[in-house]
Structure 1
Amino acid sequence: MLWNGLNHQHSSLEAALQVAAGIEIKRAGRFLVVMDTLVTLAPLLGLLGTITGLIRSFSFLGNEELAVQAVTGGIAEALIATACGLGIAIFALIPFNFFTSRVSNLEFELQTAATNLEVMLQAQTAERHVAIESRTPSSATRSSI
């Protein structure tokens, strides 16, 4: 990122740093979308399994000789689907939050580094202007001579 900013310092340094930071943040968070989808989708798939299991259970209620065994099998299927969906979401949520926090910290560090670089370059430019102005005689000094 710093190389990109220094490389484009004659054009818009701020824009070059923003582009470079955006590229780094996008690269760091490239798998967060997949994890977010997993965290969101797993409970929904568990709910879908619950619904299909309950539908299966209720479809056997008319048949009295298989009703108890079929209903309990469907309820077990529903509970397993719910537990799997919630388990996947819970276990995926922990690393998702960890990596989201890391990307946020990276974004903050990149913004801080970019700001420090801009301030440093502005200070250098100001020092250069002061040095140049101190070498050239001022108009007041020339007029009095």
Structure 2
Amino acid sequence: MLQFLIKGGWAMVPLLICSLVSLTVIIERLYFFRKTAVNGLAEQIVGLVKNGQPGEAARLSKAAAAPLLNILGVGIEQAGSPVKAMEAAAIAEITLMKRGLPVLDTIITLSPLLGLLGTIIGMISSFQVMTLGSLAQPHAITGGVAEALIATAAGITVAVSTLIPYNYFTARVEKETEVIEYYATRLEVALDTQLLRRET
């Protein structure tokens, strides 16, 4: 592995850093999104509010540190103006869900460019060997070409291995946003129904 990195030239150093950062973000995001599957609890919260038990619903919303439950909890606590309160909470929670995604997006774009830069530098080295009249030393020429190909392959590998999780996380954010809108609307209706019952 170390020989592979050395043969790839100096461009392998930033590519290695990109791959480590990408892996760290991917693991952290996987752990984060594992906590967001709480639709069953959200259903119970809306049901409790419908049945006139907002206190129990508020307690249940604190059962897990999930974005959806946090937003519903804010809506219950701010029953006088739940829509605005949930909108503000949703903005904050969606921002947290997108955390790290710009980093992955940058790595997807940057890695192939670093690989291409390594390719260019490797080819320049090969041409320099040729201009020095070392055509009788094919290993010296092919060494620069090998360096170029290794850097390119590494850059593309890092980009591809980051692209798939990035698209998955982006889709998850969109899905969670839709789920938040759905349950926030249902909670708003339930709170309005309870308010009307109190007034009559």
Determine if the TM-score, normalized by the shorter chain, exceeds 0.5. Answer: yes
Q: Tell me how far 1:79 sits from its aligned partner.
A: 0.7
The residue aligned with 1:95 is 165
1:24 equivalent in structure 2: 93
1:50 is matched with 119
TM-score normalized with structure 2 length? 0.59
Matched residue type, 2:153: A
Q: Which residue of 2 aligns with 1:124?
A: 194
Deviation at 1:102?
1.2
Tell me by how many angstroms 1:103 deviates: 1.3
Structure 1 counterpart of 2:160, one-letter code? I
> Percent same amino acid among aligned pairs?
46
Q: Which residue of 2 aligns with 1:65?
A: 134
Aligned to 2:131, the other structure's residue is in SS state coil
Query: Does 2:77 align with 1:7?
Result: yes
Gaps of 5+ in 2: 1-70
Equivalent pairs, count: 129
Shift of 1:92: 0.9
Distance 2:79 2:129 in 1: 74
The aligned amino acid for 1:13 is P
| Structure 1 stretches lacking a partner, 5+ long | 132-145
Q: Deviations over 1:90-114 (max 9, x none)?
A: 1111111111111111111111111
Change (3 A) 1:65 1:48: closer
Q: TM-score, normalised by structure 1?
A: 0.80
What's the counterpart of residue 142 of structure 1?
A: none
CA distance in 2, matches of 1:57, 1:45: 18
**Equivalence for 1:34:** 103
Query: How does 1:79-94 map onto structure 2 within 5 Å?
Result: 79-94=149-164
TM-superposed deviation, 1:7:
1.6
**TM-superposition CA deviations, 1:64-123 (whole Å, max 9, x none):** 235533321111111111000000111111111111111111111111111111122222
Matched, 1:109 2:175: no
**Aligned amino acid, residue 87 of structure 1:** T
Alpha-carbon distance in 2 for matches of 1:18, 1:40: 33
